[in-house]
């Protein structure tokens, strides 16, 4: 089975005579990426431009403008460039000593030898220089004596280079919730645990062949000769641990990208192994997962969504739907505002739900663009309803955790509202609770700024994160929006219902209303109403609907009112 090597080294050929460049190119191109320069000056430009990826330079000595000696001299004086090995090309025996003194690694005599000899000397020089670089840098993780993450991929490429026909697995091993071990038993004990895992991995790679590193605190990357029995592998690593830890506390997760194709890069193979490992997040106890078709399809699907984003935005495939919120404090529920929710009508996949693309866009920063689009649509909608019905329906928009990092966000929203003649009280912002816990300082500052300008901020998905009571009292906010998961399971006097009651008490203490979303049934509605919940959103009243349809709800609601509320 012929496997493609994914890593081709780059070399630079410097010679003023075209015929010489051609000859060397013909010899080297099957094995290397080759770039060229026709004198010392352009050579230095090329070297500077490609320094980080240049594996070797083949350098003619006699050239116009700037000759080979001068190039060697400049390289030697540069701390970064001096690491690139140079083979000097010369027909003059006496120049050899001088070039070696100037730091050349080797020389090739003109007229050239057999191509095989030239290739062998090139690869020999590269190997020597790479090995010495590996020895110089901090190669090993002090705790486990495995490679460091910086080294792992470099060494991995070399490993592939020298064992290009070995079948290899990319494996990511993670200790789930390792911080608990540190917290319960102290860091010194945590270190012993990691050491033990490292020891187990070392034994395995020594026996089967491969390399490994500690990628970060509790994650290990293992590049191992292809295995049949992953369960056995996991058990072996685990066994070493059971001397230290009680079995139920051991939560090793292993993600595997088995030797399938090397047509994807080493880095990509580990990314896929990591994806397989992350798919086990919710599981308890030790487990492994192999990257499979389903994960691959998800990866391809995600890549497509990312690729199609700009086009979709341009072609108005994103639509904003509105879901009503009803104030239930009075005798009869009153429409009091709407939440703007995005959907994507994809020409090929049909309707794509936000859960499929929001997290993806958050990773890639596209969310900022999308959210700005939604925010703008929402302001236009408020204006539009005001003109059509003579009433204002306040709209709440979602603010992603990523938006918080955008220094211009607050200003953008303020301008939007101002431009469209909308009162700040009519524009509400929903920020998910976990964003507060992720980055509390930044968020507190942004939210303060927005509130100072008059906007109201609702804490979304409340109960899904880990805000402490202490923190809540310090946080600026105007409403708590209960996480849907509670509502889903409430019934008289059960655990979820007591949670809801607790949140209502907290809200009372903070002096803010509580919004319950995801309310679907009349039973849920009554339970919440009796408990003293203020505002309800959910299928019980309506799904998120297009603005035209929403117009009907407004008409139903208003006869002669100035403003909904
Ligand atoms: P969210 O902010 O918690 O929004 C409420 C979600 O619950 C919406 O899902 C809504 O359709 C759904 N929902 C409402 N009532 C019910 C109900 O009675 N039962 C059930 N089962 N579900 C109900 P959707 O539209 O799929 O949005 C999912 C999430 O995507 C949102 O959760 C929000 O976090 C995010 N999202 C949606 N639009 C945007 C946006 O424009 N920007 C950002 N950053 N995130 C958005
Ligand atoms: Ca929301
Ligand atoms: Ca929510």
Give me 38's structure tokens.
């026709």
- Residue 269: per-residue pLDDT: 93
Q: What percent of the chain has pLDDT over 70?
A: 92
Peptide bond into 554 cis (omega under 30): no
Mean pLDDT to the nearest integer, 294-305:
91
Which CA distances in Å does 521 have to 8, 502, 524? 62, 22, 5
| Ligand 1 center to 418 CA (angstroms) | 27
- Grouping H, G, I as helix, E, B as strand and the rest as coil, residue 537 is strand
Quote the CA–CA distance of 286 and 175 in Å, as a whole number. Answer: 9
Q: What percent of the chain has pLDDT over 90?
A: 58
- Residue 5: per-residue pLDDT: 41
pLDDT range class, residue 93, cuts 50, 70, 90 = confident
CATH number, span 317-558: 3.20.20.450
- Residue 79: per-residue pLDDT: 74
| Ligand 3 center to 242 CA (angstroms) | 41
- Grouping H, G, I as helix, E, B as strand and the rest as coil, residue 12 is strand
* Averaged pLDDT of the chain: 88
Greater confidence (3 vs 353) lies with 353
Ligand 1 pocket, residue 517 CB under 6 Å: yes
Quote the CA–CA distance of 515 and 539 in Å, as a whole number. Answer: 14
Ligand 1 pocket, residue 374 CB under 6 Å: yes
Position 2 pLDDT exceeds 60? no
Ligand 1 pocket, residue 544 CB under 6 Å: yes
- Grouping H, G, I as helix, E, B as strand and the rest as coil, residue 210 is strand
Mean pLDDT to the nearest integer, 473-502:
89
Ligand 1 pocket, residue 367 CB under 6 Å: yes
Instruction: Please tell me the number of the ligand nearest to residue 324's CA.
Output: 1
Position 304 pLDDT exceeds 50? yes
Quote the CA–CA distance of 42 and 257 in Å, as a whole number. Answer: 43
Residue nearest atom 16 of ligand 1, based on CA coordinates: 518
Quote the CA–CA distance of 369 and 194 in Å, as a whole number. Answer: 42
| Ligand 2 center to 484 CA (angstroms) | 10
| Ligand 2 center to 477 CA (angstroms) | 14
Ligand 1 pocket, residue 456 CB under 6 Å: no
Mean pLDDT to the nearest integer, 369-380:
97
Q: What residues flank ion ligand 3 with Cβ within 5 A?
A: 460-461
Q: Measure CA 46 to chain center.
A: 33
- Residue 3: per-residue pLDDT: 35
Mean pLDDT to the nearest integer, 527-532:
96
- Residue 1: per-residue pLDDT: 32
Ligand 1 pocket, residue 460 CB under 6 Å: yes
Cross-strand partners of 396: 339, 428
Q: Fold identical between 149-291 and 317-558? A: no
Position 561 pLDDT exceeds 60? no
- Residue 4: per-residue pLDDT: 36
Quote the CA–CA distance of 80 and 101 in Å, as a whole number. Answer: 19
Ligand 1 pocket, residue 354 CB under 6 Å: yes
- The residue behind tokens 């302001």 is 379
pLDDT in tens, 415-442: 999 999 999 999 999 998 888 776 667 8
Quote the CA–CA distance of 219 and 251 in Å, as a whole number. Answer: 12
pLDDT in tens, 328-352: 999 899 999 999 999 999 999 999 9
Position 284 pLDDT exceeds 80? no
DSSP letters for 158-190: HHHHHTTTS-EEEEEEEETTHHHHHHHH-HHHH
Position 167 pLDDT exceeds 80? yes
Quote the CA–CA distance of 521 and 524 in Å, as a whole number. Answer: 5
Instruction: Please tell me the number of the ligand nearest to residue 464's CA.
Output: 3
Give me 41's structure tokens.
């000056």
Mean pLDDT to the nearest integer, 543-563:
85
Position 48 pLDDT exceeds 90? no
Ligand 1 pocket, residue 323 CB under 6 Å: yes
| Ligand 2 center to 527 CA (angstroms) | 22
pLDDT range class, residue 467, cuts 50, 70, 90 = low
- Residue 68: per-residue pLDDT: 93
Instruction: Please tell me the number of the ligand nearest to residue 360's CA.
Output: 1
Quote the CA–CA distance of 394 and 205 in Å, as a whole number. Answer: 62
| Ligand 1 center to 341 CA (angstroms) | 6
Position 196 pLDDT exceeds 70? yes
CATH number, span 149-291: 3.30.70.270
Region of residue 481 (phi > 0: left; psi between -120 and 50: alpha; otherwise: beta): beta
- The domains of the chain are located at 10-139, 149-291, 317-558
- Residue 137: per-residue pLDDT: 59
Quote the CA–CA distance of 281 and 438 in Å, as a whole number. Answer: 19
Position 51 pLDDT exceeds 80? no
Give me 541's structure tokens.
């009243």
Instruction: Please tell me the number of the ligand nearest to residue 341's CA.
Output: 1
Which CA distances in Å does 112 have to 21, 72, 516? 12, 21, 81
Look at strands 106-109 and 168-175 and give their pairing. unpaired
Domain 10-139, classified CATH 3.40.50.2300, yes or no? yes
pLDDT range class, residue 90, cuts 50, 70, 90 = confident
Mean pLDDT to the nearest integer, 544-554:
96
pLDDT in tens, 124-141: 999 888 777 666 556 778
pLDDT range class, residue 247, cuts 50, 70, 90 = low
pLDDT range class, residue 371, cuts 50, 70, 90 = very high
């Amino acid at each position: 089975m012929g496997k493609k090597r994914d890593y081709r080294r780059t070399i630079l050929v410097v010679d003023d005579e075209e015929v010489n460049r051609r000859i060397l190119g013909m010899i080297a191109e099957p094995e290397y990426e080759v770039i060229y320069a026709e004198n010392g000056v352009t050579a230095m430009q090329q070297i500077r431009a490609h320094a980080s990826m240049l594996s070797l330079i083949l350098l003619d000595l006699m050239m116009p403008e700037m000759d080979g000696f001068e190039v060697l001299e400049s390289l030697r004086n540069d701390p970064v460039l001096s690491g690139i090995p140079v083979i000097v090309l010369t027909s003059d025996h006496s120049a050899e000593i001088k070039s070696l003194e100037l730091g050349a690694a080797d020389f090739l005599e003109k007229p050239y030898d057999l191509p095989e000899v030239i290739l062998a000397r090139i690869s020999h020089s590269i190997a020597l220089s790479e090995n010495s670089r590996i020895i110089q840098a901090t190669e090993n993780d002090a705790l486990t004596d495995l490679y460091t993450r910086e080294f792992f991929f470099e060494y991995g490429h070399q490993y592939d280079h020298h064992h290009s026909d070995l079948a290899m697995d990319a494996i990511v091993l993670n200790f789930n919730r390792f911080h608990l071990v540190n917290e319960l038993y102290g860091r010194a004990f945590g270190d012993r645990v990691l050491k033990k895992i490292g020891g187990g991995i070392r034994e395995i790679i020594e026996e089967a062949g491969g390399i490994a590193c500690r990628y970060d605190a509790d994650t290990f990357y293992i590049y191992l000769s292809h295995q049949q029995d992953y369960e056995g592998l996991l058990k072996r690593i685990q066994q070493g641990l059971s001397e230290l830890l009680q079995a139920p506390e051991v939560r090793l997760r292993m993600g595997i990208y088995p030797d399938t194709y090397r047509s994807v890069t080493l880095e990509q193979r580990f990314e896929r192994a990591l994806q397989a490992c992350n798919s086990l997040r919710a599981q308890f106890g030790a487990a492994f997962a192999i990257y499979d078709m389903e994960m691959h399809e998800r990866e391809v699907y995600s890549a497509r969504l990312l690729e199609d984003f700009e086009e979709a935005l341009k072609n108005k495939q994103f639509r904003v739907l509105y879901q009503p919120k009803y104030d239930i404090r009075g005798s009869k529920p009153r429409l009091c505002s709407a939440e703007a929710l995005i959907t994507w009508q994809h020409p090929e996949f049909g309707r794509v739900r936000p859960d499929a693309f929001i997290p993806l866009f958050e990773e890639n920063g596209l969310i900022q663009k999308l959210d700005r689009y939604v925010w703008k649509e929402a302001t236009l909608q408020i204006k539009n309803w005001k003109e059509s019905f003579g009433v204002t329906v306040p709209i709440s928009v979602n603010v992603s955790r990523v938006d918080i990092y955008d220094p211009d966000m607050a200003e953008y929203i303020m301008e939007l509202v101002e431009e469209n003649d909308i009162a700040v009280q009519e524009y509400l912002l929903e920020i998910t609770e976990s964003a507060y816990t992720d980055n509390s300082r930044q968020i507190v500052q942004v939210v303060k700024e927005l509130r100072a300008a008059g906007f109201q901020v609702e804490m979304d998905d409340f109960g899904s994160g880990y805000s402490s009571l202490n923190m809540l009292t310090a946080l600026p906010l105007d409403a708590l929006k209960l996480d849907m998961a509670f509502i889903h399971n409430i019934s008289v006097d059960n655990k979820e219902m007591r949670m809801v009651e607790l949140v209502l008490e907290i809200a009372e203490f903070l002096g803010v209303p509580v919004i319950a979303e995801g309310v679907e049934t009349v039973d849920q509605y009554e339970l919440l109403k009796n408990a003293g919940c203020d505002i309800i959103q959910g299928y019980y009243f309506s799904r998120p609907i297009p603005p035209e349809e929403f117009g009907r709800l407004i008409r139903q609601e208003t006869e002669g009112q100035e403003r909904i509320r």
